[in-house]
Amino acid sequence: MSNSKLYVGNLPYSVDDATLQNNFAEFGTVASAKVMTDRDSGRSKGFGFVEMGSPEQAEAAIRGMNGLSVGGRSIVVNISRPKESTGGGFG
């Protein structure tokens, strides 16, 4: 099952939604780019999510961006997996 939503971690606090979108735009269509922020302070939590136009573009973005140094920090990019709902039996 392929997924076009990416988790982006270890982001410098200077990165905002627009920066994130620009960084990933070279790999294809960016459907959405959101840096998660603290509800009270509005500060970046250092991670976010980017939704690419297709799973292929998402794969290209992972290859191109994972481990890249952004603002002196090596960022983490991988497929965002939805949290598994508990109660399913694993054999």
Which residue range(s) make up the domain with 64? 5-79
Average pLDDT over residues 67-80: 94
**Which H or E element spans position 67?**
none
**pLDDT tens sequence across 3-61:** 999 999 999 999 999 999 999 999 999 999 999 999 999 999 999 999 999 999 999 99
In a domain, 75, yes or no: yes
Give the count of domains, the chain.
1
- The pTM of this model reads 0.85
* Encoded tokens for 88: 């399913």
In a domain, 87, yes or no: no
Between the two ends of the chain, the Cα-to-Cα distance in Å is: 20
CATH code, domain with 10? 3.30.70.330
In a domain, 90, yes or no: no
In a domain, 85, yes or no: no
In a domain, 47, yes or no: yes
From the list 17, 13, 2, 28, the residue with the least C-alpha distance to 81 is: 2
